[in-house]
Amino acid sequence: MSWDRQINIKNPQELAVMREAGRINAEALAAVAAAIAPGVTTGELNEIAESVLKKYGAYSPFKNYPGPYPYPASICTSVNEELVHGIPGNRKLKNGDIISIDCGSVFKGYVGDAAFTMGVGEITKENKKLLEVTEKALFAGINKLKPGNFLGDVSAAVQNVVESHNLHVTREYTGHGVGRRMHEGPQVPNYGTPGKGMLLKAGMTIALEPMVLIGTNQTKVTPDEWTVVSLNGMNTAHFEHSVAITETGPVILTVLADGQNPWDFAGQSK
Ligand code: MF3
Ligand code: CO
């Protein structure tokens, strides 16, 4: 892919700014998570994220991102069979839906990128398992983001969690380096072989994003040219964090000031 070009090692000053961008991103995601309920539209969720970013002097790198046509919103809202890049609009959420919220932030020239998937009201056991496995795969991968490990260790950790639960990772979309640009090198697939691929070094910043499907890994793009859906129409899930590799291990950048996950807080069911 065209954005798989440079791998930029960040110094501690840059990492500090990326932590701020990540914290603001987490604030936006937490505000959206709190608003998810039956009857709310995806467009309203987009407005909530935009207002939080604006409050902190940040903006979304998604808006006008080049593609088939410039991406028209600040977040992606992907409901049910929509895997990634769903466009916010008039769609009203219904009890039993699952929705992925993907949000980016640019602050002082650096990017944060993170996503979660959550149930709307009461969801089925199968959907709960889909969300739990995808989130677990994200954290299994994050734990491998250490100097001396290889990119394949990260990818394999994600793949193993997903496939051990008889679910499937996409082959067509990947995680990525993140920094001054939303998409830097390296590409980070959600499948791979331990010990293979690039050697990880302190100062690399990676957006890891498992995208998980039921039954098959096949996807297609809908007529709006952005939204990616499962080919079989089954539900899908997506979780993402931006993470710094440091000498002492992974540091998750896209968390709240107290280190809490933006999608984990009292009163919310996942
Ligand atoms: N988190 C997504 C990614 O890493 C967001 C891209 S949406 C876009 O690719 F609209 F900006 F393309
Ligand atoms: Co991303």
Q: 174-186, pLDDT tens digit by residue?
A: 999 999 999 999 9
Answer yes or no: are the C-beta atoms of 207 and 20 closer than 8 Å: no
Percentage of the chain modeled with pLDDT above 70: 96
Output the pLDDT for position 5.
72
Four-point Cα dihedral 4, 85, 238, 148, nearest 10: 10
Dihedral over Cα of 48, 54, 58, 64: its sign = positive
User: For ligand 1, what atom is nearest to the CA of residue 115?
Assistant: 1
Distance 250 CA to ligand 2 centre (A): 17
- What distance in Å separates the CA atoms of residue 171 and residue 167, rounded to the nearest whole number? 13
Is the pLDDT confidence value at 4 over 70?
no
Q: In the β-sheet with 175-177, what is the strand arrangement from edge to edge?
A: 184-188, 175-177, 205-208, 241-246, 249-252
Q: Could you tell me if the CB of 71 is within 6 A of ligand 1?
A: yes
Neighbours of 148 (CB within 10 A): 10
pTM of the predicted protein model: 0.96
Output the pLDDT for position 147.
98
Is the pLDDT confidence value at 269 over 90?
no
Q: Could you tell me if the CB of 65 is within 6 A of ligand 1?
A: yes
Q: 153-168, pLDDT tens digit by residue?
A: 999 999 999 999 999 9
Task: List the domains of the chain with CATH numbers.
Answer: 12-266 (3.90.230.10)
Q: 99-149, pLDDT tens digit by residue?
A: 999 999 999 999 999 999 999 999 999 999 999 999 999 999 999 999 999
User: For ligand 1, what atom is nearest to the CA of residue 176?
Assistant: 4
In sequence order, the β-bridge partners of residue 245 are: 250
Average pLDDT, the chain: 96
Of 182, 205, 224, the one to substitute when testing ligand 1's pocket (max ligand atoms within 8 A of C-beta) is: 182
Please spell the DSSP secondary structure of 214-234, one letter per residue: ES---EEE-TTSS-EEETT--
Is the pLDDT confidence value at 3 over 60?
no
Q: 215-240, pLDDT tens digit by residue?
A: 999 999 999 999 999 999 999 999 99
Output the pLDDT for position 270.
44
Q: pLDDT confidence of 90, banded at 50, 70, 90?
A: very high
